[in-house]
Amino acid sequence: MRLITSVQNRAIREARKLKQGKYRQQQQRFLIEGTRLVGAALRGNARVSEAFVTQALVEGPQGAELLSALESRRAELMLIPDEALREVADTENPQGIVAVVESVVVPLMDLKTRHTPLLLVLDGVADPGNVGTLIRTAWSQGTHAVILGQNCCDPLNPKAVRATMGGLFHVPVAISGAAEETARFLKSRDITLVGSATGEGVVCDRFNFPKAVAIAIGSEVRGLSPAMRDAAAALVTIPEQRGAESLNAAAAGAVLLYEAMRQRRVNRAQSTGRARPSTKRPPHERPQKGRATGQPKGRPKS
Find the CATH number of the domain harbouring 68: 3.30.1330.30
Whether residues 137 and 72 fall in one domain: no
* C-alpha–C-alpha distance, residues 234 and 290, integer Å: 7
Go through 124-156 and write b for each residue having 16 or more CB atoms within 10 A of its CB, e for each that does not. Answer: bbebbbbbbbbbbbbbbbebbbbbbbbebbbbb
Contact assessment for residue 253 and residue 220, using Cβ atoms and an 8 Å cutoff: no
Residue 154 lies in a domain: yes
pLDDT tens for residues 228-255? Answer: 999 999 999 999 888 777 789 999 999 9
Whether residues 281 and 165 fall in one domain: yes
pLDDT tens for residues 154-177? Answer: 999 999 999 999 999 999 999 999
Mean pLDDT of the chain: 89
Half-sphere exposure (Cβ direction) of 35: Cα atoms closer than 13 Å = 15
Domain membership of residue 75 as a residue range: 2-103
Whether residues 85 and 118 fall in one domain: no
pLDDT tens for residues 179-213? Answer: 999 999 999 999 999 999 988 899 999 999 999 99
pLDDT tens for residues 88-126? Answer: 999 988 889 999 999 999 999 999 998 899 999 999 999
Q: Identify which of 131, 79, 81, 75 has the alpha carbon closest to the alpha carbon of residue 101.
A: 75
- The residue out of 86, 103, 120 marking a domain boundary is 103
pLDDT-based confidence at residue 274 (cuts at 50, 70, 90): low
Whether residues 77 and 208 fall in one domain: no
pLDDT tens for residues 129-146? Answer: 999 999 999 999 999 999
pLDDT tens for residues 6-19? Answer: 888 999 999 999 99
Radius of gyration of the chain (CA): 22
Beta strands in 94-218 (DSSP E): 97-102, 105-107, 118-123, 145-148, 173-175, 192-196, 202-203, 213-218
Whether residues 149 and 279 fall in one domain: yes
Find the CATH number of the domain harbouring 234: 3.40.1280.10
pLDDT-based confidence at residue 295 (cuts at 50, 70, 90): very low
Whether residues 10 and 77 fall in one domain: yes
- The residue out of 64, 79, 103 marking a domain boundary is 103
- Chain centroid to Cα 93, Å, comes to 24
Structural domains in the chain (count)? 2
pLDDT at 281: 52
Q: pTM score > 0.95 for this model?
A: no
